[in-house]
């Protein structure tokens, strides 16, 4: 059984990702992973370099994607601090039509929906969904957020809406980041466990496949402290600020063995990534 990383941030996720694109391909080849996705936040700045480097690694299929921001209401609504936040969503192009639609969505997110982030909405997703694969993303996604709020009715509504648009190209996404790094947020893993169990239930109820991702933000485990400093720069925080944002430092490019160890009871969430990559 192999595995493919489908939720990956490069250095083009500005002030958030710290993964050089060539290093990602080197790691994928080293681990025998047959494909690699690029899903930077909100933009597709890295696609040109991604495809150029991919030509040097013919054994690793490049998958162009984006972690888009979806407006809480619609892309035209700007309600002060309320709409500073947006739902995360992973979109992957499975063909040239999907690539063109992804470009269109990212462009319209900036032209029509920008408010702290380039935002799209359900109207645009419905209009430009052809050729795209969709996954629920991290804890910042609409479905995970609704689950954490205890609003399973809203979570299920979102699942059913996206399934109605993407059909078999819609996947639920699970992540697992247990950490023993000092000061790293242990509650992230606890929230992920709650969300994952609910996602498995929704998947079974509505016949939707589940994939595992690691929300890659840096390449090697040893890069965790450097990435932590990058986050300090992003938010203008001191390293020793007890209230600043911290990652679990588990968001590195893991091998299939490391990923399998995180989901021992659900091996299908790894094999399903190969289906997406095909």
CATH of the domain at 216: 3.20.20.140
CA distance 247 to 184: 6
H-state helical runs in the chain: 21-30, 47-54, 96-111, 122-127, 142-148, 152-166, 187-206, 224-235, 256-262, 268-277
Is residue 3 included in any domain, yes or no? no
CB atoms within 10 A of CB 254: 20
DSSP state, residue 254: -
pLDDT tens figures, 216-274 = 999 999 999 999 999 999 989 999 898 899 999 999 999 999 999 999 999 999 999 99
CA distance 235 to 23: 26
Angle at the Cα of 228 (from 224 to 229), degrees rounded to 5?
125
Is residue 12 included in any domain, yes or no? no
pLDDT tens figures, 58-96 = 999 999 999 999 999 999 999 999 999 999 999 999 999
pLDDT tens figures, 140-160 = 999 999 999 999 999 999 999
Is residue 76 included in any domain, yes or no? yes
| pTM score, whole prediction | 0.97
Structural domain boundaries, residue 101: 21-277
> How many CA atoms, within 13 angstroms, populate the side-chain half-sphere of residue 165?
21
Nearest CA among 12, 19, 6 for reference residue 40: 12
Number of domains in the chain: 1
């Amino acid at each position: 059984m192999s595995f493919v990383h489908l939720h990956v941030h490069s250095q083009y996720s500005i002030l958030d990702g710290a993964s050089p694109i060539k290093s990602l391909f080197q790691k994928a080849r080293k681990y025998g992973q047959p494909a690699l996705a690029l899903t930077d936040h909100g933009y597709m700045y890295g696609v040109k370099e991604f495809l150029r480097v991919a030509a040097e690694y013919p054994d690793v299929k490049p998958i162009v994607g984006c972690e888009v921001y979806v407006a809480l209401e619609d892309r035209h609504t700007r309600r002060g601090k309320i709409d500073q936040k947006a739902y995360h969503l992973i979109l992957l192009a499975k063909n040239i039509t999907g690539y063109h639609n992804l470009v269109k969505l990212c462009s319209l997110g900036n032209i029509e929906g920008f408010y702290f982030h380039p935002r799209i909405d359900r109207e645009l997703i419905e209009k430009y969904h052809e050729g795209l694969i969709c996954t629920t993303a991290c804890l910042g996604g609409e479905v995970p957020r609704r689950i954490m709020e205890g609003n399973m009715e809203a979570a299920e509504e979102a699942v059913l809406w996206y399934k109605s648009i993407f059909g078999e190209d819609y996947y639920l996404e699970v992540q697992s980041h247990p950490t023993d790094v000092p000061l790293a947020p242990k509650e992230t893993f606890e929230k992920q466990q709650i969300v994952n169990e609910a996602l498995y239930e929704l998947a079974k109820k509505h016949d939707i496949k589940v994939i595992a991702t690691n929300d890659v933000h840096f390449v090697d485990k040893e890069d965790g402290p450097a990435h932590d400093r990058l986050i300090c720069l992003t938010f203008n925080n001191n390293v020793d600020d007890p209230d600043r944002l911290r990652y679990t430092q588990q968001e590195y490019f893991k091998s299939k063995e490391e990923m399998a160890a995180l989901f021992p009871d659900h091996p299908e969430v790894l094999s399903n990534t190969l289906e997406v990559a095909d």
